[in-house]
Amino acid sequence: MTLTADQVKSLVLSLGFDVCGITGAGPLPEAEEALGLWVKEGRHGGMKYLEDFERRAKRFWESFPEAKSVIVVGVNYYSNAGCASETKPVGRVARYAWGKDYHRVIGKRLEEFREKLSEAAGRPVRAEICVDTLPLLERSLAEKAGLGFIGKQSQLLNPKFGPWLFLAELVTNLELEPDIPFIGSCGTCRICIDQCPTEAILPEGGIDARRCISYLTIEHRGEIPEALRPLIGDWVFGCDICLEVCPFTSKAKETKWPEFRPESGFGRRLDLVKLLEIPSNRAYEREFEGSALLRANRKQMRRNAAVVLANAESAGKDFGKAEKGRIKGAFRTEGRGQGRKDNLSSLDPHHLASLALEEGFNSRIS
């Protein structure tokens, strides 16, 4: 049978997805040109995989010449679950990583959708799943599929759920009626620009990843520039500031997906001392199995923890003798056999950050 766009959307929503839109398959020349210019200006930082996006996208579309439609789905992941006050040293985690790894959760649900799509069509349907795995500009596709518009902070702003949507796609050979592209803008609003502590959001909109807390704590492999460390505050993994201050967050609703609630994962804060005490890379991977936190490796997370601890120390936080002892012990243990003298008489901010960087990146801070 011939499936209509409305039938496909009904099937998507029956599987628990919060929004669905459809657009035509193929390159997005204007969006790809903007990405190329952004990369040429160096604003992508160390994300080298973006430098050959055009080549990878061209190769993908050539491998799927019969592609007709892109089904764009969105999952609301917002949670405002309470959190008990902490007396131990902790670091904040971006909302998207509070629960289980969305790549796995949404990917599995899309596999179910793909099977049901072929059943509904009464024939095998070719459909390629993308949850950050294909060279697709997902926010531009979502905008074209009528799901919202891209805000100044580069996130999709949806009229029902605000900026709190995971996006994923199914590229298919089904010819489906496309939705009308969403037309919208932030207008004169610049709250996210003014509230970003590192000034990572450009005056005309868009992100300079090299200054973005999310990039620095997750994607960036080297040392965090000294001038930016105090501005990271207590963010140990990612950052939600530009989303939280956005007026569209007034649209936010508690997620219906239990997998993305904090009790399904590691929650909104991480115990920094416990993080530092993880003894090996293998133990780190076991500890955070099934979590998006594994996007950053152990060396990066030790670096982040050290920066957050240093910021807390600078702000006058007193960890207490026992906690200080555990922190110093974690660095001493890591440094054994490496011929380095720690001289940890205090938790001096520069010294603490230096230790983490020396461990992972052989870098020095003057």
- Where b means 16+ CB within 10 Å and e means fewer, 199-222 reads ebbbeebbbbbbbbbbbbbbbbee
For residue 9, give the H/E element and its range. helix 5-14
φ, ψ at 318 (rounded to 5°): -105, 110
Please state, in angstroms and rounded to a whole number, the distance separating the CA atoms of residues 128 and 113: 11
* Catalytic-residue membership of 234: no
Which H, E and C letters describe 177-208, residue by residue?
CCCCCCCCCCCCCCHHHHHCCCCCECCCCCEC
For residue 19, give the H/E element and its range. strand 19-24
Pick the closest to residue 128 from 179, 196, 182, 64 (CA basis): 64
Pick the closest to residue 153 from 110, 111, 92, 214 (CA basis): 214
Pick the closest to residue 344 from 329, 364, 359 (CA basis): 329
The full DSSP string for 105-138 is HHHHHHHHHHHHHHHHHTS---EEEESS-SS--H
Please, are residues 145 and 23 in contact by the beta-carbon 8 Å criterion? yes
Q: Which member of 6, 18, 101, 132 is catalytic?
A: 132
Beta bridge partners of 130: 169
- Where b means 16+ CB within 10 Å and e means fewer, 337-365 reads eeeeeeebeebebebbbbbbbbbbeeeee
Please state, in angstroms and rounded to a whole number, the distance separating the CA atoms of residues 266 and 271: 10
Please, are residues 305 and 272 in contact by the beta-carbon 8 Å criterion? yes
Question: In Å, how far from its chain's centre is CA 137?
Answer: 15
Angle between helices 53-63 and 29-40 (to 10 degrees): 150
Catalytic residues: 132
